[in-house]
Structure 1
Amino acid sequence: MLNSMTFGELSGRISRVVACGLMALALAGCSGFNLFGPPKLREEAIVPEASLYQQALNNMDDQRYLTAIDLLERLERQHPRGQLSEETKLMLVYANYRIGKFDEAIAAADRYLAIYPNGKDAAYVYWLKGTSYFAQIKDITRDQKISQDAIETYTQLIRAHPQSEYAKDAQDKLKVAYDNIAGKEMSVGRYYQGNGQYSAGINRFRVVVEQYQTSTHIEEALYRLTESYLALGLVSEARTAAAVLGHNYPSSEWYQRAFDLLARQGLSPQVNEGSWLAAQRT
């Protein structure tokens, strides 16, 4: 067949094939597809460490934290062992914390503490990590894992840096976190009690009495124990719970309620020294 073609016909066919090939190449270029393999990534221009760090600080001063984070992450990539490595990791914790990216701040804090556990800003990083958890604590109806994480972090801070300026604030926030967990225990305990599951309720109230004595829920917990023990016919335990409540909080409204509850049964508060509650007198 090729021999029967005229030169003009052959030339025309070649031209069409070449044109189709050129069009395919053009379309591939427009779509970003490389016929000869994956496209090469543009190499990131290396910028001096001090320059990148200063740019990041400038952006933070202008409250452009997202841009600052990008610059700090670039600095980590380009200068992983640079002289400003510790400062860079600290600023990543701070910048993420400032814009409410708490999970990222926590992860950045963990990276800092893994490499610089005794760094000059370790106490501050612990505080930023703990406060990133603390800021996410919701009401007592939610899961309290975040509260527990905050407690663990603040406890680490206080143990490792008891004299730091952040330890006092950590102590104050610990009380709130403990109160939140105690409130959750009380909420569940009241639910069980209201459904007649007194033993399950007692277990929850006991946790509050034994583990969260500084919480604002301790007085009610002792009263609920009085109620629940009385409902189960455990009179000695009920009288002991009321007596401990009166001993520790004599002016409490909850004690007056416990006293009246026992009085209606012809009973009065009295400590049974063999009860676990006897050890709760302060």
Structure 2
Amino acid sequence: MNKILPRILAASIAAALIAGCSSTPQEQDETRGWSAEKIYSEAKAEQSSKNYENSNKLLEKLEARYPYGRYAQQAILETAYNHYKDQEPLLALSAIDRFIKQYPAHPSMDYALYLRGLVFFNESQGFMSFLAKQDMSERDPKAARDSFDSFKQLVTRFPESRYAGDAQVRMGYLIGALSNYELHVARYYYKRGAYLAAANRGKYLLEVYGNTKQVEPAMGMMVLAYDKLGMNELRDDTKRVLLKNYPQTTVLDKNFLDDRAWWAPW
């Protein structure tokens, strides 16, 4: 009997401890009972304080509790903006694309396109670092092109948008960067003896970026490449057009292929 009592006592104590643990109040969700407007307001406050992760947690609750209201729609864009500011471009683009797909006629569609352009624009900065000592022919201009396309959609569909002006400025920068990229790649091919590839790259630049400062050096590159290929008729035709449009050109000088002589700022 004496041996049984300690066991009973130990069991009783263990049960009491378990019961005590189970009766510990669970952490309360302070947003319980909040309206959609209240959650959205708090999420914006966290966003203003640059607490993007906390802001997104609130926005997730907003979408889960009030999935069909106007605040839930706006929450998707705010989530995208938070990811953009928090340097999470893939998550930002995912949220933007979800918004564009679900709400194609939304009044904030211009902002969605603008934000999409900004995300890609930031991603393209590495590509546009032309002074970096890298082989530009191996760099991918896709982000720059996607950024340009998003801004172009914005200014085409919403020319009166408050974001259209900045989008146009960025488009000008992007088109200059992309045309410089094509020129750099053409030079890269030429210096490695791939003259046909160099000429074709110059021709592509003329067709796609015909209103940029890079047209003149691109035509010079084509003249030099056609000459190396023995394509005298194309060489002479291109040279004739070049001299007609740029009578003071220096792109046919022997120093044209020097490291900086080909450079065409935008």
Q: TM class, shorter-chain normalised?
A: 0.7 to 0.9
2:113 is the counterpart of 1:129: no
1:8 Cα deviation after fit? 8.6
The answer for the alignment partner of 1:119 in structure 2 is 106
Q: Is the 8 A contact 1:59 1:68 kept in 2?
A: yes
2:102 is the counterpart of 1:106: no
- Give the number of the structure with larger relative contact order, counting CA–CA contacts within 8 Å between residues 6 or more apart: 2
For 2:224, which of 216, 223, 227 is the aligned residue? Answer: 227
For 2:253, which of 251, 257, 265 is the aligned residue? Answer: 257
The correspondence of residues 26-41 of structure 1 with structure 2, limited to 5 A, is none
For 1:139, which of 105, 127, 144 is the aligned residue? Answer: 127
Q: 1:122-173: CA deviations, max 9, x gaps?
A: 1111111101101111235221111121122122212221232322322222
Amino acid at match of 2:37: A
Amino acid at match of 1:133: F
Q: Structure 1 residues 243, 130: CA separation in 2 closer, same or farther (over 3 Å shift)?
A: same
2:90 is the counterpart of 1:90: no
Q: Could you tell me the TM-score, scaled by structure 1's length?
A: 0.71
The answer for the alignment partner of 1:166 in structure 2 is 163
1:82 Cα deviation after fit? 2.3
In 1, the alpha carbon distance for the partners of 2:163 and 2:246 equals 32
Q: Structure 1 residues 247, 69: CA separation in 2 closer, same or farther (over 3 Å shift)?
A: farther
In 1, the alpha carbon distance for the partners of 2:171 and 2:237 equals 30
The answer for the alignment partner of 1:265 in structure 2 is none
The answer for the alignment partner of 1:194 in structure 2 is 191
Identity of aligned residues (%): 26
In 2, the alpha carbon distance for the partners of 1:104 and 1:250 equals 51
Q: Is the 8 A contact 1:136 1:146 kept in 2?
A: yes
1:234 Cα deviation after fit? 1.5
1:61 Cα deviation after fit? 2.8
In 1, the alpha carbon distance for the partners of 2:105 and 2:244 equals 45
The correspondence of residues 145-184 of structure 1 with structure 2, limited to 5 A, is 145-184=142-181
1:96 Cα deviation after fit? 2.6
Q: Is the 8 A contact 1:134 1:146 kept in 2?
A: yes
The answer for the alignment partner of 1:52 in structure 2 is 39
Q: 1:255-275: CA deviations, max 9, x gaps?
A: x639x9xxxxxxxxxxxxxxx
Q: Is the 8 A contact 1:175 1:215 kept in 2?
A: no
More displaced stretch, 138-147 vs 48-57: 138-147
1:220 Cα deviation after fit? 1.2
Amino acid at match of 1:257: D
1:191 Cα deviation after fit? 2.3
Q: Structure 1 residues 249, 100: CA separation in 2 closer, same or farther (over 3 Å shift)?
A: farther
1:88 Cα deviation after fit? 1.7
In 1, the alpha carbon distance for the partners of 2:70 and 2:110 equals 21
CA-atom RMSD in angstroms? 3.1
Amino acid at match of 1:213: G
Q: Could you tell me the TM-score, scaled by structure 2's length?
A: 0.75
The correspondence of residues 3-42 of structure 1 with structure 2, limited to 5 A, is none
1:197 Cα deviation after fit? 1.8
2:55 is the counterpart of 1:68: yes
In 1, the alpha carbon distance for the partners of 2:79 and 2:249 equals 48
The correspondence of residues 239-258 of structure 1 with structure 2, limited to 5 A, is 239-254=236-251, 257=253
Q: Is the 8 A contact 1:94 1:128 kept in 2?
A: yes
Q: Structure 1 residues 131, 210: CA separation in 2 closer, same or farther (over 3 Å shift)?
A: same
Q: 1:221-251: CA deviations, max 9, x gaps?
A: 1001000111112222112222222233334
Q: Is the 8 A contact 1:175 1:214 kept in 2?
A: no
